Amino acid sequence: MSQSSSSARVERVAEASLPCAYGEFRIVAFQGKQGDREQELVVLKYGDLGDQEKAPLVRIHSQCMTGEVFGSERCDCGPQLQMAMRLISEEGNGVLVYDPQEGRGIGILNKIRAYELQDQGADTVEANEALGFEADERDYRLAVAVLLDLGIQRVRFLSNNPAKVAALEEAGIEVVERVPCEPSSSDQATAYLKTKREKLGHLIDGL
């Protein structure tokens, strides 16, 4: 992340209530634009974000169709999303940015190509690199721009990923605390998470 968030622009399009299993959220839709790239993002908000005494609990959650929709045990994205929504509602205020960068930014088709290689023995990083991608192609500037649009300046940040922390700090958002997001996971996801820890620098203790 070498560029500032100023090149990413987001426009708030609509907002509505979203009653969920974990409580009554507000869902806010944004149209994002960064260079030639256009992206739709949605945010779940909970509680009063204007309370500056207590920094809101914030997560930037990257889309994972297989984990979230189908309950795949290849990764822990589904349980992470549920944990984040539950913790935010328990805290009483917070934001989840749902960032549509499927497959660490390579898209669903390439992610399944990578799974095919993983079925033949590659780990998640080797598979992405064999397909000609970086190990992690994600760019968090649009997600960060959404947080800035919501007026968020200080956060307790729910993440295991130092690159996301760096993206917030580069944009001038103060991370007062990093809160781990480590739901219990399947054996298969454990191997995946070990690769993320060892090759991508994720901060994961409970393996």
Residue 12 annotated to the active site: no
Complex with Zn ion: residue 77 or 168, whichever CB lies closer: 77
List the structure tokens of 200: 């991508």
For tokens 């393996």, what's the residue?
207
SS3 129: helix
Residue 64 interacting with Zn ion (CB under 5 A): yes
Q: Whats the size of the chain, residue-wise?
A: 207
Tell me the site size for Zn ion, rule CB under 5 A: 4
Complex with Zn ion: residue 34 or 195, whichever CB lies closer: 195
Q: Return the closest-CA partner of residue 183 out of 117, 86, 91.
A: 86
Residue 119 annotated to the active site: no
Query: Which residue from 67, 79, 94, 103 is in contact with Zn ion, where contact means CB under 5 A?
Result: 67
Residues 139-155 as b/e (b if ≥16 CB within 10 A, e otherwise) read bbbbbbbbbbbbebeeb
Residue 121 per-residue DSSP state: T
Residue 44 per-residue DSSP state: E
**Distance in angstroms (rounded) separating the CA atoms of residues 53 and 50:** 9
Complex with Zn ion: residue 28 or 75, whichever CB lies closer: 75
Q: Tell me which of 76, 99, 136, 139 is the catalytic residue.
A: 136
In the bound complex, what is the minimum distance in angstroms from residue 111's beta carbon to Zn ion?
9
| Interface region with Zn ion, contact rule CB under 5 A, candidates 8-16, 35-43, 49-57, 59-67 | 59-67
Residue 43 interacting with Zn ion (CB under 5 A): no
Q: Tell me which of 59, 138, 141, 156 is the catalytic residue.
A: 138
User: What count of other Cβ atoms lies within 10 Å of the Cβ of residue 88?
Assistant: 25
| Interface region with Zn ion, contact rule CB under 5 A, candidates 43-51, 74-82, 125-133, 169-177 | 74-82
Residues that bind Zn ion (CB under 5 A): 64, 67, 75, 77
The set of catalytic residues is 136, 138
